[in-house]
Chain A
Amino acid sequence: MPSGKPLKRSVMANHYPGIRYGALAVLPFCITVVPFGIAWAVAAQAAGFPDWMTMAMSVFVFAGASQFAAMELIGAQGSLLAIALLTFAVNARHVLMGTTLYPDLRHRSFARQCAMVPTLTDANYALMQTEPSLTRRIGLLMAGGWMIWLAWVLGTMIGLLFGGVLGDTNRFGFDAVMPIFFLVVLVAAYKGRPSLLPWTSAALVAVAWHQALGGYWHVLVGAVVGGAVNAWQGARVDRDA
């Protein structure tokens, strides 16, 4: 911002100075969210979903993995209870992510916390893990999430309108973006010896659970075991800004 000239800043920018940073930092990743949204719209159309439902799910549910996962069950007129359980299982990782956000958000009212997390996603959460500034982490959570939401809704719209022309977007490797992104974030977050035991135990437990039982709970179980090992190890990683 140029100094000297008083710039009128919005209320939002005053309360959340990391907003602009968060919105810009996720932009490169938004480019990969759009094709994922396209893929969702194409798949939902093929499954016989009316377009309004495909769009409404992106707008309101805003959790791609669970939307894909529930698609078949919805097509088969599955019970609401079964759909609720599946949705919870796929999105249970958010519960853990939410608990880890608490130290950052603890000074804010619960109502405000509730208003900050509707756009908590894997992508902005992952970016927060390597961001040392609390202000910027908040910006990533909020504005970063809003941009990802926009990209997701935009991708869904493009897919509904032009999906048939684009064909299979996976041939461009877009399905690999999120896992590769997580790997890269993990490399950045790796702290050597203190990370070794918690990460290895999380990986082993998650893989073993996934191989034995399939489904989605392995993320929850592996993550909790890894966190517990970290607590037991007492390796204090100070990320307070």
Chain B
Amino acid sequence: MTPEYLLAVLAVMTAVTYATRVSGLAAMRFVPLTPMVRDFLSGMANTVLVALVVPVMIGGDWPVRLGGAVAIAVMVATRNNLASIVAGVATVAMIRGVV
């Protein structure tokens, strides 16, 4: 890991990551916002989170799965973001502390 190599890595990763952040907006300049495109985008706004989180939950250890279930239950009951996250994470921490 020479400094030259690391600097090149840094430049590449910075450029690629920024490109991912801006390219969606850049591409949409050339796509007309028809109702169908809007439906696609508004649907994808949520399904990107679904596609991100469901495999993590399924692949996770059981404290994480249980913590997720607790968070969902608290959220359904209270509609309070923060309380639900705290409850879920506390569940994970407690189980890991006990086991």
Give the shortest distance, in Å, between A28 (CB) and chain B (any CB): 5
Q: What are the residues of chain B within 8 A of A171 when measuring CB–CB?
A: 93, 96-97
**In whole angstroms, what is the CA distance A223 to B45 when docked?**
8
**In whole angstroms, what is the CA distance A225 to B54 when docked?**
15
Q: What are the residues of chain A within 8 A of B37 when measuring CB–CB?
A: 231
Q: What are the residues of chain B within 8 A of A95 when measuring CB–CB?
A: 20, 23-24, 27
Question: Could you tell me if A97 and B8 are in contact, using CB atoms closer than 8 angstroms?
Answer: no
Q: What are the residues of chain A within 8 A of B75 when measuring CB–CB?
A: 183-184, 187-188
Question: Could you tell me if B43 and A230 are in contact, using CB atoms closer than 8 angstroms?
Answer: yes
- A110 and B40 in contact, given A91-B16, A176-B63 (Cβ under 8 angstroms): no
Question: Could you tell me if A173 and B90 are in contact, using CB atoms closer than 8 angstroms?
Answer: yes
Q: What are the residues of chain A within 8 A of B67 when measuring CB–CB?
A: 173, 176, 180
Chain B, interface size: which category? 35 or more
**In whole angstroms, what is the CA distance A175 to B50 when docked?**
18
Question: Could you tell me if A183 and B39 are in contact, using CB atoms closer than 8 angstroms?
Answer: no
**In whole angstroms, what is the CA distance A61 to B51 when docked?**
23
Question: Could you tell me if A181 and B85 are in contact, using CB atoms closer than 8 angstroms?
Answer: yes
- A229 and B43 in contact, given A183-B72, A187-B72 (Cβ under 8 angstroms): yes
Question: Could you tell me if B49 and A186 are in contact, using CB atoms closer than 8 angstroms?
Answer: yes
Q: What are the residues of chain A within 8 A of B14 when measuring CB–CB?
A: 60-61
**In whole angstroms, what is the CA distance A195 to B49 when docked?**
13
A66 interfacial contact with B, CB 8 Å = yes
Q: What are the residues of chain A within 8 A of B58 when measuring CB–CB?
A: 207
Question: Could you tell me if A102 and B28 are in contact, using CB atoms closer than 8 angstroms?
Answer: yes
A92 interfacial contact with B, CB 8 Å = yes
A53 interfacial contact with B, CB 8 Å = yes
Give the shortest distance, in Å, between B72 (CB) and chain A (any CB): 6
Can you list, as one digit per residue, whether each of B1-16 has a CB less than 8 Å from chain A (1) or not (0)?
1010110111011101
Question: Could you tell me if A183 and B45 are in contact, using CB atoms closer than 8 angstroms?
Answer: no
A198 interfacial contact with B, CB 8 Å = yes
**In whole angstroms, what is the CA distance A32 to B12 when docked?**
28
Q: What are the residues of chain B within 8 A of A219 when measuring CB–CB?
A: 48, 51-52
A43 interfacial contact with B, CB 8 Å = no
- A173 and B51 in contact, given A179-B56, A180-B89, A184-B85 (Cβ under 8 angstroms): no
- A103 and B41 in contact, given A113-B25, A181-B85, A207-B54 (Cβ under 8 angstroms): yes
Question: Could you tell me if B21 and A199 are in contact, using CB atoms closer than 8 angstroms?
Answer: no
What are the 5 closest A-B residue pairs judged by CB atoms, nearest first? A98-B24, A230-B43, A226-B47, A222-B51, A227-B44
| Apart from A106-B33, A223-B47, 5 more pairs, CB < 8 Å | A84-B16, A100-B42, A110-B29, A130-B81, A183-B72
